[in-house]
Amino acid sequence: MGNREISHSRDFHEFTKHSEVSIQSPGHRLDFGNKPNPFKFYTKLPSIPLPTVFPKPEAGTLTAISRIRSVGQLPSEINIMEIAEILFFTAGITRSLQYDTDTIYMRAASATGALYPIELYLVCEGISGLKAGVYHFNPGDFSLTLLREGDYRLHLSEAAGDDTSIQTSPALIVFSSIAWRNAWKYRDRSYRHWFWDSGVMAANLLATVNSIGLRINFNVGFFDDVVNRLVCAENRQEAVIAMAPIGVGLSKKNTSNNNKVVGRTEITVLNHETLPLSEKGQVEYPMIWKIHEASNLQSNDEVKKWIDVDKIIKQNSTTQALIPDSIPLLPPNYSNDPPLSDIILLRGSSRRFARKPISFAQLCNILHSSATGIPLDFTKGGKVSITDAYFIANDVEGLPRGSYYFNRNSESLDLLKRDVHRDVSGYLCLWQSLFSDASIVFFLMTPLEQVIASYGNRGYRAAQFEAGIIAGKIYLAAYAQGIGASGSTFFDDAVTEFFSPHATDKSTMIAIGVGVPGYKSKSGKVLAGKWTRDQLLLRMG
């Protein structure tokens, strides 16, 4: 099974599509007595408390998310205080909600079903306050657990095709997904959620690192077996999705006394015992692992070829003559740009929209800030994108109601259909009234056949991940302007059909509704270190 055998991506995407028939088939009963635990605990390894008082990212939100590179002054080094800041505003706990006997620990970034399948690992050289090693981050008690001592950045650089940004970065954040956490509710389709959930977290990470003044890249291409083994991911239980070198150019190049450089030897297999994820055990969904393993890259050379191949995704231009009108965007206006820390704490997922309009200026700011390049390895550092934004405008002041395509090249909105009834957006999002009530609903789409023909099965990961990051940017941009947002699933083929002929070759990756919330929500708080490990275990039963 190889990355170039692209029938696996086609089969998985088709099998996991939603349709009117599929969602009315016999339902999947949730076994709440077997709901996965929200935190990963190691039973025989000590935890290292992170500082609970740390700086906050104070750059303007729209400014931070719209820049491909940092907006602040480049620090001379990274220390444990900045690591704590980055980890909290990417994945820390900002709220706790009680439902009967169940406590939901809401995080800095949204997650489908509030199930939080994404785990973060830190790989670093020796920095002030932390020795070189491979660490697992636990947002519950806000701690790190040392899994391997020593500097393993060279291994990760080689695994990513000799990526120099990894070699010159003092630290990396590694994203993984624990499959069962999300599959418990969403079954096979939950594989898509791996990349949606990690993508919105990556948007927070990108904005936070930009605010601090550091450089960051994202690696989606890497030798899977090496990286999974390094973070001790259990086979067919957990898998690495992406890596993010942080502070590119700031590495001390292994001159510090608290760096123990690990050479090019084989990474030993370690089996650190963890608490069971569910009381009754996990249910495996083989299709998830079939598509994931089919998209694995199996050598450093294969990674290099995957990154270096000249991939050009051609825009569908044959329907441009059918565009009845094209409306230019207003220039971006970030004059009233609240601090990123405030917006991450405020952000949630809107549960009710008020059927009130947003302004055309707000829409333009969302598009400008979310469409800027993302420093991904497969997009040449953000110079290109494989994601297109389509949307239905239900209620935007100064913009006729209808469906549109955001033309990044001309920075304009191409009108596709006039006078679209707002119930259409609700229908496309599985008949959910929330998305009929939204002022605007975005559908992030990609020419999937072109993508997997160019990138192989790995392109499926790439397309979902980039769309997830853009969705995360839309979330932050909406809340920065006093409005709300919520992500949604959708009827796959119905969305393509609705936006055709323009979107004939496109597949939807994720949908996001934006609008005026129908209630006033309270801001979250910095809850880093509020609970001890024992308190969390007691709450989890």
Give the model confidence (pLDDT) of 315-372 as tens digits: 554 456 578 789 999 999 999 999 999 999 999 888 999 999 999 999 999 999 998 8
- Measured CA to CA, the distance from residue 303 to residue 319 in angstroms comes to 36
Q: What is the mean pLDDT of the segment spanning 435-446?
A: 97
- For 454, other C-beta atoms within 10 Å of its C-beta total 19
- Phi/psi of residue 49, each to 5°? -65, 135
Structure tokens at 289: 């692992």
Query: Per DSSP, what are the bridge partners of residue 195?
Result: none
Domain ranges of the chain: 41-308, 320-515
Structure tokens at 277: 């994820």
pLDDT at 25 over 80: no
Domains 41-308 and 320-515 share a fold: yes
Conformational region of residue 130, where left means phi above 0, alpha means psi within -120 to 50, and beta covers everything else: beta
For residues 266 and 286, what is the distance between their CA atoms, to the nearest angstrom? 29
pLDDT(83) > 60: yes
User: Using one digit for the tens of pLDDT, what is the confidence trace for 361-419?
Assistant: 999 999 999 988 799 998 876 678 899 999 999 999 999 999 999 999 899 999 999 99
Residue 29, pLDDT > 70, answer yes
What is the average per-residue pLDDT within 488-499?
97
**Nearest 10 degrees: CA dihedral of 289, 292, 295, 298?**
-70
Identity of the residue numbered 312: I
Phi, psi of 160 (to 5 degrees): -100, 25
pTM over 0.85: yes
- 3.30.710.10, 3.40.109.10, 3.30.930.10, 3.40.50.720: CATH of 320-515: 3.40.109.10
* Sheet containing strand 47-49, strands side by side: 47-49, 143-149, 133-138, 118-124, 171-178, 238-246
What's the pLDDT tens digit per position in 417-427?
999 999 999 99
The residues near 134 (Cβ < 8 Å, ≥ 6 apart) are: 121, 122, 123, 146, 147, 148, 152, 230, 231
Superfamily of domain 41-308: NADH Oxidase (3.40.109.10)
